Amino acid sequence: MKKIISLILLFIICLGIVFCLQDIPFGAAKTKVGHYYIDNGREETGATNIVTSVVLNYRGFDTLGEVTILFLAAIGLGAVLATLKKKGKRQIEPASLILKTGCRFLFPLILLFGAYIFIHGHLTPGGGFQGGAIIASAFLLVYLGCRERKINEVANKITESIAGLVFIVMGLIGLTVGGHYFLSNFMPKGEINTLFSSGIIPIIYIAIGFKVGSELTGIIDNLMEKS
């Protein structure tokens, strides 16, 4: 009964969306804001990856919010799990040697890959979020492979905080120096398509990479260890 009602209701919503989609033809010419970004993005921000320039510069404030949300989730998760009573020590079954060695071998490589991704965020696809996630997956690998190893929580927290603060401080420097706008790209744009270009974007993306990585690691750590 409930299923039928839900299907009917969803069908009505579907109908509404179909009417709505008539005005959004698939694959049609792009819109004015997006056009502006593609046309002026390189000059204004110095990044070749327009998505990055949008994410970090035109809509950098959103990204600040987004980083905050991840931070929030990590903290919230910690708060939710913090009051949980632990049932003694978790039984750790040591992994096999092959697995361990493999993990140890892979771990720095994955870290390097993640770092590459977020350092080159303004040039190639990828950036702080993707890189951060990859770094987190490296730590996940450590958890799965070398189970007795633990993450230094304090270091994790400090990384997290400092990375967040770097973002904010960069924004605030923009407020004081560069044209008095928060998050304005006050640093020299450099030569397009080189590593040291596009002003504050790489710095912020690196900060985001660290932040996302440490936060996702923190989330996994909390879920694995605290519950």
Nearer to another protein by C-beta: 75 or 100?
75
Q: Using the rule CB under 8 A, which residue among 103, 119, 133, 170 binds another protein? A: 133
Nearer to another protein by C-beta: 65 or 188?
65
Closest distance to another protein from the beta carbon of 80 (Å): 5
Q: Using the rule CB under 8 A, which residue among 125, 152, 177, 195 binds another protein? A: 125
Tokens matching residue 111: 């870290």
Contact 130, 118 (CB under 8 A): yes
Give the amino acid at 193.
N
Alpha carbon distances (Å) from 185 to 32, 40, 189, 221: 22, 14, 8, 35
Site for another protein in 57-86 (CB under 8 A): 57-66, 68-84
Q: Does 204 bind another protein (CB under 8 A)?
A: no
Q: Does 220 bind another protein (CB under 8 A)?
A: yes
Contact 202, 168 (CB under 8 A): no
User: For residues 199 and 207, what is the distance between their CA atoms, to the nearest angstrom?
Assistant: 14
Site for another protein in 79-118 (CB under 8 A): 79-84, 117
Other CB atoms within 10 Å distance of the CB of residue 134: 23
Site for another protein in 7-66 (CB under 8 A): 7-10, 12-17, 19-34, 36-39, 41-42, 44, 48-55, 57-66
Site for another protein in 147-166 (CB under 8 A): 154, 157-158, 160-162, 164-165
Closest distance to another protein from the beta carbon of 101 (Å): 21
Residues near 212 by beta carbon (within 8 Å), at least 6 away in sequence = 67, 70, 128, 129, 131, 132, 133, 135, 136
Contact 222, 78 (CB under 8 A): yes
Site for another protein in 165-194 (CB under 8 A): 165, 167-169, 171-172, 174-176, 178-185, 192-193
